[in-house]
Amino acid sequence: MEPIIQLRNLEKSVEAGPNRFFLLRRVNLDIQPAEFVTIMGPSGAGKSTLLSIIGMLDGAWTGEYYFNTEPVHRLNVKKRNELHKANIGFVFQSYHLIDNLTVFENLEVPLSYKNVPHKERVSRVCDALDRFNIVGKKDLFPNQLSGGQQQLVGVARAVIMNPKLILADEPTGNLHSAQGDEIMQLFKRLNDAGTTIIQVTHSERNASYGHRIIQLKDGWVVGETATADVGANAAQPG
């Protein structure tokens, strides 16, 4: 099976006066479909930068990036955006829900950007509300929800387009442990259902939900370890 993501000699740098600082250096990485990968490393290692590039939000890098064999490095902005819209969902540490919109409308936003017809949008949002057990919250605004509930909406928003890949940047960073576990269980279930997940985390416990850990330091991939089957661990946190 072809990897869903292939990175070859991927590099990202920024200029600061006469100097050039590398944020990522010669990153080579293959991620298989339905894999659950964790990226770890100290602050400034380049984790979020790598996630932004994989998520096609950042286009200023060099090297090769294949998404489902599609050469992202050769695509123009428009094509890249289309690929991103069709395949990738994001979950953020700070949830990043839109404050002005209700839960229902927040879930509707990515669908509207993909020009999904109104009726279908409503139907898919209702399904998501039902699936994530947040029907009762649909008319509330983000500031009327707890952190866990907001992240639940964040995950629901990420999966509403049925993405092949979910990118999660410290998804439980702002949650207490019980809420965090709930979210991680949710990721696990999504992964079991076939969605590829890449998460960035500092938490060993969250990492244990995945199949593999990529270690980054100063922009370099410095290690890669497989994690044991964590289904049992996840069921018994502590």
Partner 1 sequence: MNTFWQDIRYAMRGLGRNPGFTLVTVVTLAFGIGANSAIFSVVNTVLLKPLPYRDPAGLVKVWTRFTGIGLPNDQNWFSAPEFRDLSEQNRSFSAISVLSPSTFNLGLGGGNPQSVTGAAVSPALFTILGINPPVGRTFLPEEAQQGRDRVVILGYGLWQRAFGADPQIVSKEVIIDGRSCQVIGVMPKGFDYPSPSELWMPQVFVPADFAPDNRGNHGYEVLARLKPGVSLAEARQDMAALSRAIIEQHREYPYQRFGFALLLHPLLAETVSDVKTSLWVLMGAVGFVLLLVCANVAGLLLVRSTARQKEIAIRVALGAGTRRIIRQLLCESVILSLFGGLLGLLLTPILLQLIVSLSATALPRVVSTQIDLGALLFTFVVAVGTGILFGLAPALEASRGVHHEVLKEGGRSSSEGRTSQRLRRLFVVAEAALAVLLLAGSGLLLRSFVKLLAVDPGFRAEGVLTMQVSLPSATYAKPEQQRAFFQELVSRVEHLPSVQAAGAISALPLGGPGNSGTATVDSRAVPPDKASPETDYRAVMPGYFQAMGISLVSGRYFDERDTDSAPPVGIIDETMASTFWPNEDPVGKRIKLGGMGSKQPWMTIVGVVRHVHYRTLEARSRVQLYWPEAQRPTGLMSLAIRTSAADPMSLAPAVERLVLGIDPQQPVDHVLTMEEVMADSLARRRLTLTLLGIFAGGAMLLAALGIYGVTAYMVTQRQQEIGLRMALGASRSAVLGLVIRQGMSLLAAGLAAGLVLSFALMWVLSSLLFAVRPYDPVSLGAAAAALALVALVACSIPAWRATRVDPLVALRYE
Q: Is 15 a residue that touches partner 1 (CB under 8 A)?
A: no
- Smallest gap from residue 186 Cβ to partner 1 (A): 19
Q: Are 67 and 87 in contact (CB under 8 A)?
A: yes
Query: How does strand 88-92 pair with strand 5-16?
Result: unpaired
Residue 138 found at the interface with partner 1 (CB under 8 A):
no
Please state, in angstroms and rounded to a whole number, the distance separating the CA atoms of residues 167 and 179: 19
152 versus 230: smaller Cβ distance to partner 1:
152
- Report the site for partner 1 in 200-219 (rule: CB under 8 A): none
What SS3 class is residue 67? strand
Closest CA to 103 of 146, 54, 154, 65: 154
- Contact characters 164-203, partner 1, x per CB under 8 A: -----xx--x------------------------------
Inter-residue contact 224 to 214 (CB < 8 Å):
yes
Q: What tokens does 202 get?
A: 């500092």
Interface region with partner 1, contact rule CB under 8 A, candidates 29-37, 64-72, 114-122, 185-193: 114-122
Among the residue ranges 18-26, 113-121, 126-134, 187-195, the one whose residues contact partner 1 (CB under 8 A): 113-121
Taking contact as CB under 8 A, which single stretch among the options 80-88, 132-140, 178-186, 217-225 is the one that binds partner 1?
Answer: 80-88
Binder among 8, 26, 73, 85 for partner 1 (CB under 8 A): 85
Among 73, 3, 7, which Cα is nearest to 219's? 7
**From candidates 157, 164, 188, 211, binder to partner 1 by CB under 8 A:** 157
The angle subtended at Cα 179 by Cα 174 and Cα 185, nearest 5°, is: 115
Residue 77 C-beta-side C-alpha neighbours within 13 Å: 4
Which residues are at the interface with partner 1 (CB under 8 A)?
43, 48, 52, 55, 57-58, 78, 81, 84-85, 90, 92-94, 96-101, 105, 108-110, 112-115, 117-118, 157, 161, 169-170, 173
